[in-house]
Structure 1
């Protein structure tokens, strides 16, 4: 049975400001993706360019949801404090309401944010059980960068994607417990096409998009 979901990022953060930004470690809350397996999240908000307080992450999938109401650059970079490789989460101009995902190693991190307006950020790590994973096929759609999962991937599969925006259309699968993401699509501007992927584990899907998109995995 096919399941269709319309995805939006949901970073509604209400916190008191402690200096230029603040951080709260909170218990899990229900996501638009109906995933309730995030044990804790790190929340920040502020205005303008900011470096957050340090926080701990474990090895695995890390999801960041962010909003920005400025008119210029909005760049969000996840930086490990041990001087290993940083990871770019968001790099856009103007208003933003979306999400990104990466694979991280255990350690302490901070986030370097370049913004010209008010912003909010939540960073969390889903830790699903095998029974939480949804089987394929599945149909997803949205208007901006988003994430969904967990899904149970069982070897060779097919993906069909469409994108109506003017900019990047990048789809990745982040394997739970894996070391490297699986690239599904890496396209620019309008796109309508198919490809294959090969993964045998639980995984999460991330989509970077500049306009309306759809994705079918089977």
Structure 2
């Protein structure tokens, strides 16, 4: 399994040893900010280990939220690990959520985050070994992480937060092999992106705000890709790249 290489022209901040989806989701329609069909089958697999399973909604006075030097406060990352299928509760404070996934099995690997109302967001959908990240926009509340796997796996759930002073500007150049989420980056309206992809699966690039309901779709293609596109985004954003092979991205 190839580990990604991430090159940031102006020092984009990336939280990582990661994960975000093959490199990408097997289905380009599986959005981490929308719903999807999940599975609720119970199994006898080894239970997951969770650092936050007993308290999915931490008390504000004892949550241990991490504070950046730029005065942006972000929730403490939550980790889950196990072998085989599992379901574990987590608490989300709302907004941008990034799931870093790692799978050591050889069969299907799928990670879904399910809300109490039945809505589900897919953060990984791959066959075989996997390492990647994927972003989504979730409302505040209690969720269940459903993992379908045949081997050992590890998840880290992050909720990035930042101030304008902490963001990097444009232009930016990124490259890699696995799915990644990079940011924060300060956008200011109309932009041009040139992207390439050497794989034969889904290639998707989106820009996520810290809060909101939808990301900005920049590229959604199948197979190899080499083209430039224009898009609009204003404010702080995180770039989500889903790919199954070598990719590059230049944004200005």
Q: What is the TM-score of this pair, normalised by structure 1?
A: 0.86
Please show how residues 11-160 of structure 1 align to structure 2 within 5 Å: 11=18, 20-25=47-52, 38-52=74-88, 54-83=89-118, 85-160=119-194
Report the CA distance between 1:82 and its aligned residue: 3.0
- 1:110-136 Cα distance to aligned partner (Å, 9 max, x none): 111110110000101011111111111
Report the CA distance between 1:157 and its aligned residue: 0.3
Partner residue, 1:10? 17
Question: Does the CA-based 8 Å contact 2:95-2:159 persist in structure 1?
Answer: yes
Question: Does the CA-based 8 Å contact 2:111-2:123 persist in structure 1?
Answer: yes
Question: Does the CA-based 8 Å contact 1:59-1:106 persist in structure 2?
Answer: yes
Q: Which runs of 4 or more aligned residues in structure 1 lie more than 4 Å from their structure 2 counterparts after TM superposition?
A: 25-30
Question: Does the CA-based 8 Å contact 1:8-1:146 persist in structure 2?
Answer: no
Question: Does the CA-based 8 Å contact 2:11-2:168 persist in structure 1?
Answer: no
Counting matched residue pairs gives 205
Report the CA distance between 1:28 and its aligned residue: 5.0
Report the CA distance between 1:186 and its aligned residue: 0.4
Partner residue, 1:181? 215
Give the distance between the partners of 2:244 and 2:114, measured in 1 at CA.
25
Question: Does the CA-based 8 Å contact 1:9-1:98 persist in structure 2?
Answer: no
More contact order relative to length (CA 8 Å, sep ≥ 6):
2
- 1:58-111 Cα distance to aligned partner (Å, 9 max, x none): 22100000100111100111111233x211111110000100000011111111
Please give the root-mean-square deviation of Cα atoms over the aligned residues, in Å.
2.5
Secondary structure of the equivalent of 1:200? strand
The answer to whether the aligner puts 1:197 opposite 2:204 as a matched pair is no
Aligned partner (choices 181, 197, 201) of residue 167 of structure 1: 201
Secondary structure of the equivalent of 2:49? coil
Give the distance between the partners of 1:124 and 1:75, measured in 2 at CA.
18
Q: What is the TM-score of this pair, normalised by structure 2?
A: 0.75
Report the CA distance between 1:154 and its aligned residue: 0.2
Structure 1 pair 4/126, CA: closer, same or farther in 2 (3 Å)?
Answer: closer
Gaps of at least 5 residues in structure 1 are 13-18, 31-35
- 1:153-199 Cα distance to aligned partner (Å, 9 max, x none): 10000001011112111001001222211101101111111111101
Higher percent of residues as strand: 1
Give the distance between the partners of 1:110 and 1:87, measured in 2 at CA.
11
Secondary structure of the equivalent of 2:77? strand
Gaps of at least 5 residues in structure 2 are 1-7, 20-45, 53-63
Give the distance between the partners of 1:28 and 1:74, measured in 2 at CA.
30
